[in-house]
Amino acid sequence: MLSIVVLISGSGSNLKSLLEATENPLFGAKIVAVGSDNAADGLAHAERFGVPTFVVSPGSFDTRENWANVLLANVNHFRPDLVVLAGFMKILPANFVSALTPNLINTHPSLLPAFPGAHAVRDALDAKVTETGVTIHVVDEGVDTGPHIASATVPVLADDNEHDLHERIKVVERELLVATVKDIAAKKIHLPSLVK
C-alpha cells in the first residue's frame, strides 16, 4: 500500500477526490496526512476522513529554508512513499525538493511547459489559446519544470472567464490525479525512471 502525504493551500477538491478514491481498497494507496501552509478550507476534507493534518505557515519563520525544514520534518514524520502537491501554492525551496524528489509530484492547471506559475488559467486566457489543460509532473527545483507524468487537454470556450475555465480544468484534473496516483501505486508509473 502506497502511503501519501498531500499538501494543499486552498479548497482541496483534488484532495477530496483522492480521499474518496482511497476508500476503495483496490486503489492501492492511502493518505496518511494532509499538510498546508495556512488554515486552508480543504483541511476539513482530511478531518472528515479521520486523516491527521498539520499547518506550517511561512510567516512564522525568518527564512524560506527554515520554514521548509519544519514542513519537511512534519511530512517525514508520516514516512510517506509519495508526497502530492494538490493546489499547494507556495514555491518549495531546494532543501525540501531535493529531500523528496522524485517521490514528490505536483498537479498544475495548464499544458506545461506553457503557462507555469500561480496564474496558469489567467495566462492561458490572456494568450487566447484555444486549448489548455492539466499536467502532473515530478517536482524539481524549478517552478513547474519537472518531468511530465501525465497530461490532459481542456478546450477554451469563447465566453470563458478564469473561474469557469479553471472549474472545467479541475474536473479533468481530479480524474487525472486519481488515475495517476493509482498507476504509481500499481507500479505502472516508475517515478525514478522519469528523472534523468
Query: Which residues form the interface with ligand GRF (CB under 6 A)?
Result: 8, 10-15, 42, 86-87, 107-109, 170, 173
Please state the closest distance from residue 196 (CB atom) to ligand GRF, in A. 25
SS3 letters across 16-45: HHHHHHCCCHHHCEEEEEEEECCCCCCHHH
Please state the closest distance from residue 14 (CB atom) to ligand GRF, in A. 3
Q: Kindly tell me which of 22 and 107 has the beta carbon lying closer to ligand GRF.
A: 107
Q: Kindly tell me which of 11 and 66 has the beta carbon lying closer to ligand GRF.
A: 11
Is 108 marked active-site? yes
Q: Kindly tell me which of 75 and 176 has the beta carbon lying closer to ligand GRF.
A: 176
What does the alpha-carbon distance between residue 166 and residue 173 come to, in Å, rounded to a whole number?
Answer: 10
Cβ(3)–Cβ(27) below 8 Å: no
Please state the closest distance from residue 111 (CB atom) to ligand GRF, in A. 12
Q: Kindly tell me which of 166 and 182 has the beta carbon lying closer to ligand GRF.
A: 166
Task: Name the strand (E) or helix (H) holding 14.
Answer: helix 13-21
Quickly tell me which residue has 486552498 as its cell.
Answer: 10
* Residue whose C-beta lies closest to ligand GRF: 87
What does the alpha-carbon distance between residue 173 and residue 152 come to, in Å, rounded to a whole number?
Answer: 8
Instruction: Using only the alpha carbons of the chain, give its radius of gyration.
Output: 16
What does the alpha-carbon distance between residue 142 and residue 162 come to, in Å, rounded to a whole number?
Answer: 25
Please state the closest distance from residue 118 (CB atom) to ligand GRF, in A. 8
Out of 45, 77, 108, 190, which one is annotated catalytic?
108
Give catalytic residue positions: 108
